[in-house]
A and B are shown apart, each in its own frame.
Chain A
């Protein structure tokens, strides 16, 4: 019966609601609320897909789940729960990734509407492409703390999710992490790198030893440091062997590791005197002489109490023992994957980050705070999710009323703007004709050094991670049709370690890249340079460069609109965990981003004159909201 009761929904709307078929992508915080609203409003045919299982930290807002459901499938439990609200609904639940090839364009074509309740950019990109390919309207959404937004994407009518460039990856220069940390996050990043160096996947970008190529060091200084290194004993100085091999050889001996990492390497850093002319020099620690005083924070919870350096060292020792055992169970060549919800892995990072912070005179943090930083946790609450879900359904209702042109991007602010708006509707923009996804013939330029960039990196870092393809096929547009990357397993793996130049790829070479699942073809033009700035391996430019986001727009919350900064999917470490989970798992986000977001929005909201975005260019937008209403979650 629901809202299809007489007099509630007007005209044919009640029937359109009843007869529609809806796909909900994600059954987390927003997804639970969306499903509730759908079954109550009279939607009859719903499918929901989510890869994730239920965690205890979901229960404060994902109200379809209870304690006894922990570890069960979100989509399946959500289905059972909302069927109790309305048993007359046909709901199908998939415990799966929406990026699986099972959900191809024909799967998407069966729906009237797709509602995204996602938390990560990779899945958003993918669903965006699938909805464009299937030509099905998509309602996109996102929340971060008190903030949220909803928007509508329709092929040919509005911007797609990827029409505006995303903010660049949030990274820290290697020399800051390795040599001159100045903030707690630098120590947390270093601690995570150390975890991977000791137990996880070996990534040369995550070296934890002192960096002699620090641009601050003059050639001479670096050289003299190198010489002094030669004089130090075999444990001190830069370890030429991999950290992993060395640590294994010591049997992960806590004292040896401690003294190398926190005494000898620090002494070595001190020998790079230029670094400390204007900085507080770090103070090497000896494991047998550690300060044990704390700040008198007597909170009963272990997470909330500030550990002393001595306690940190003890935790560090214990963790080494446990992680060593865990690693051994993985067998030869096995490795551990850092996970914020693994108690030992988090303890390790919390203790290491704090010891390093102490050495560099940086504020130490509680385990609770370090979990936020290391896990990039976005705080999440029931009320914001409920509001955003409600707004999603309201946009869906407009689409089903045949009024898609009156759909809006709606932002939920924390405080009303100067026009008293707490919810700020903004007119939808038309597609960007130069979008590398929804343009009729998408093109993009990738800047690399062809003699140093490998085919494997082109596939993983450029096409998959940056450009959002799932299973690319790449052919050189050289008249011969040389295939360098194939989505068929086993066909081109041997190419991965070869350089682009090995295939005759050089400045101006055009690559035809296809993703069969996404029904997406992209022409990539290679621009060859000897060296990119800031140690970058590649850069995507061309038409995109004209659309570089403004700085403010880069400060993103987990919004759904690309130009508002969106989420920062490309930052996070745990890409694999992330396919379909919801807002709580914005691994790629930092808690503090929400703070920044809030500031930006406040600033924008309070500015009477500032032309906020390109949105304000249309008269309609101004009529709808006024240009100072145009606030980005960005």
Chain B
């Protein structure tokens, strides 16, 4: 534990509130959490899940940033915005309920567009998590975050599908590893021939904490990854990539081109557009037709609440992990598909 965080001891109130998680990740991790300031871009369903999870965990501050206004679709997953607030700014409309989740966290709302924010603003946070953004925005955020040694996350949910991306630069963390069991000072009861029930093993296995480091690829490289399905090496690599990666690419491309998400109000047209993008994406990525089911357009509208919960749960936990610098982070994508229960961690672009 570093000196600066050591001084800030957890209070009795905090210990009572965070008891069950301190029992999981320890006091040091909790101390680091409460020193962390996080910027959350995008307050749709996934953003709401992430906000809930990290505010509950007890970070120092959260800035909710979104220039858009709530619409009908928010009612299927955005539980931080009251229904009466349709038409109001998403960040502002989410503020009150987010704050109520945990009075100890400083929560603020910002109605700006992230593209209008200067680099210094972005670099002032410990963590930036961007949801609902197009690829140009995401790539810039990633670049600025790396310059400023800010932990960067991106994520989105499209209907039954969702993803998380992480670029933590060079990330240092502590990991507990098992020590080989030594003979104990006391003669163990097994040697005595005393009944030694297997279940009665109590002392936690002896562990030792080791410092590790991990390097992450940047988003530009991750999204630009090419696959050579002609070589056996390339085929093998491609097999590791879940279909949801390519579905994600199609949807991010849709966002980028249309400056909006696929919408119920333009269902048929958007499906056609997505089918076209599917072909293009497969071609430019150099992968065969079976890497993306044609019927994905049936499952990618709106943000399904349980899918937001799954992806927002993973994303929230990864942010907690990064901030507390405890345990190996997922490097660098998580993909979820509610059509087949698949949830993969895949490294792309390294």
Partners in one complex: yes
CA distance A98 to B308 in the complex (A): 30
Q: Are A382 and B57 in contact (CB under 8 A)?
A: yes
Instruction: Say if the beta carbon of A180 comes within 8 Å of chain B.
Output: yes
Q: Are A41 and B305 in contact (CB under 8 A)?
A: yes
A residues less than 8 Å from B328 (CB atoms): 415
CA distance A36 to B202 in the complex (A): 38
Chain B interface residue count, Cβ-Cβ cutoff 8 angstroms: 85
Q: Are A63 and B52 in contact (CB under 8 A)?
A: yes
Chain A nearest CB, measured from B199 CB (Å):
4
**CB-CB contacts below 8 Å: A512-564 with B:** 534, 551, 554-555
Instruction: Say if the beta carbon of B194 comes within 8 Å of chain A.
Output: yes
Instruction: Say if the beta carbon of A236 comes within 8 Å of chain B.
Output: no
Q: Are B202 and A176 in contact (CB under 8 A)?
A: no
Instruction: Say if the beta carbon of A128 comes within 8 Å of chain B.
Output: no
Also in contact, A394 and B341, with CB within 8 A (given A6-B264, A37-B305): yes
Instruction: Say if the beta carbon of A421 comes within 8 Å of chain B.
Output: yes
B residues less than 8 Å from A368 (CB atoms): 23
Q: Are A595 and B205 in contact (CB under 8 A)?
A: yes
Instruction: Say if the beta carbon of B200 comes within 8 Å of chain A.
Output: yes
Interface string of B25-66 (1 = CB under 8 A from A): 001000000000000000001000100110011100000000
Instruction: Say if the beta carbon of B148 comes within 8 Å of chain A.
Output: no
Q: Are A185 and B187 in contact (CB under 8 A)?
A: no
Q: Are B202 and A184 in contact (CB under 8 A)?
A: yes
Q: Which of B8-16, B209-217, B227-235, B286-294 contacts A (4 or more CB under 8 A)?
A: B8-16
Chain B nearest CB, measured from A497 CB (Å):
30
CA distance A56 to B82 in the complex (A): 26
Q: Are B320 and A595 in contact (CB under 8 A)?
A: no
A residues less than 8 Å from B194 (CB atoms): 173, 175-176, 180, 215-216
Query: Most chain-B CB neighbours within 10 Å: which of A5, A42, A584?
Result: A5
Of the candidates B53, B56, B186, B305, the one whose C-beta lies within 8 Å of that of A3 is: B305
Of the candidates A280, A425, A534, the one whose C-beta lies within 8 Å of that of B195 is: A534
A residues less than 8 Å from B189 (CB atoms): 176, 180, 182
Instruction: Say if the beta carbon of A136 comes within 8 Å of chain B.
Output: no
Q: Are A300 and B9 in contact (CB under 8 A)?
A: yes
Residue of B nearest to A593 (CB): B199
**CB-CB contacts below 8 Å: A1-45 with B:** 1-3, 5-8, 10, 33, 36-37, 40-42
Interface string of A375-410 (1 = CB under 8 A from B): 001011111111101111110010000000000101
Q: Are B343 and A423 in contact (CB under 8 A)?
A: yes
B residues less than 8 Å from A385 (CB atoms): 313
Instruction: Say if the beta carbon of B94 comes within 8 Å of chain A.
Output: no
Q: Are B313 and A383 in contact (CB under 8 A)?
A: yes
**CB-CB contacts below 8 Å: B321-350 with A:** 328, 330, 334, 336, 338, 340-346
Chain A nearest CB, measured from B146 CB (Å):
24
Q: Are B21 and A381 in contact (CB under 8 A)?
A: yes
Instruction: Say if the beta carbon of B317 comes within 8 Å of chain A.
Output: yes
CA distance A13 to B33 in the complex (A): 41
A residues less than 8 Å from B309 (CB atoms): 33, 36-37, 386-387, 389-390, 393
Instruction: Say if the beta carbon of B70 comes within 8 Å of chain A.
Output: no
Q: Which of B115-123, B133-141, B275-283, B295-303 contacts A (4 or more CB under 8 A)?
A: B295-303
Q: Which of B71-79, B106-114, B248-256 contacts A (4 or more CB under 8 A)?
A: B71-79
CA distance A392 to B341 in the complex (A): 11
Also in contact, A386 and B316, with CB within 8 A (given A180-B194, A280-B185, A416-B330): yes
Of the candidates A8, A57, A382, the one whose C-beta lies within 8 Å of that of B302 is: A8
Q: Are B21 and A60 in contact (CB under 8 A)?
A: yes
Instruction: Say if the beta carbon of B181 comes within 8 Å of chain A.
Output: no
Also in contact, A592 and B202, with CB within 8 A (given A41-B304, A279-B186, A534-B195): yes
CA distance A386 to B240 in the complex (A): 27
**CB-CB contacts below 8 Å: B183-197 with A:** 185-189, 191-195, 197
Q: Are B82 and A2 in contact (CB under 8 A)?
A: no
Residue of B nearest to A556 (CB): B199
Instruction: Say if the beta carbon of A61 comes within 8 Å of chain B.
Output: yes
Also in contact, A377 and B340, with CB within 8 A (given A84-B82, A386-B316): no
Q: Are A380 and B306 in contact (CB under 8 A)?
A: no
Instruction: Say if the beta carbon of B4 comes within 8 Å of chain A.
Output: no
Of the candidates B20, B159, B198, B305, the one whose C-beta lies within 8 Å of that of A379 is: B20
Instruction: Say if the beta carbon of A289 comes within 8 Å of chain B.
Output: no
A residues less than 8 Å from B301 (CB atoms): 5, 7-8
Q: Are B314 and A377 in contact (CB under 8 A)?
A: no
Instruction: Say if the beta carbon of B310 comes within 8 Å of chain A.
Output: yes
Interface string of A61-76 (1 = CB under 8 A from B): 1010011000000000
Residue of B nearest to A533 (CB): B195
Q: Which of A163-171, A327-335, A432-440, A471-479 contacts B (4 or more CB under 8 A)?
A: A163-171
Instruction: Say if the beta carbon of B312 comes within 8 Å of chain A.
Output: yes
Q: Are A420 and B197 in contact (CB under 8 A)?
A: no
B residues less than 8 Å from A141 (CB atoms): none
Instruction: Say if the beta carbon of B307 comes within 8 Å of chain A.
Output: yes
Q: Are A592 and B343 in contact (CB under 8 A)?
A: no
Chain A nearest CB, measured from B122 CB (Å):
25
Q: Are B341 and A410 in contact (CB under 8 A)?
A: yes
Also in contact, A408 and B202, with CB within 8 A (given A6-B264, A175-B194, A584-B20): no
Instruction: Say if the beta carbon of B236 comes within 8 Å of chain A.
Output: no
A-B contact pairs, 24 of them (CB 8 A): A2-B75, A3-B76, A36-B79, A37-B305, A41-B76, A41-B304, A56-B16, A56-B17, A57-B17, A85-B79, A168-B199, A171-B200, A175-B194, A180-B194, A184-B202, A278-B191, A279-B192, A301-B10, A302-B12, A381-B21, A386-B310, A386-B316, A425-B342, A534-B195
Task: Name B's A-contacting residues (CB within 8 A).
Answer: 9-10, 12, 15-21, 23-24, 27, 45, 49, 52-53, 56-58, 72-73, 75-77, 79, 82-83, 100-101, 103, 159, 178, 185-189, 191-195, 197-205, 240, 242, 264, 267, 298-299, 301-302, 304-310, 312-314, 316-317, 320, 328, 330, 334, 336, 338, 340-346
New A-B pairs, 16, CB < 8 Å, besides A8-B302, A379-B23 = A2-B305, A37-B305, A41-B305, A56-B17, A61-B56, A170-B200, A171-B200, A173-B200, A183-B203, A304-B27, A381-B20, A383-B53, A383-B314, A390-B310, A421-B345, A595-B204
Task: Name A's B-contacting residues (CB within 8 A).
Answer: 1-3, 5-8, 10, 33, 36-37, 40-42, 56-57, 59-61, 63, 66-67, 84-87, 145-146, 167-168, 170-173, 175-176, 180, 182-186, 215-216, 278-280, 299-304, 361, 363, 368, 372-373, 377, 379-387, 389-394, 397, 408, 410, 412, 415-416, 420-425, 534, 551, 554-555, 584, 590-592, 595-596, 599
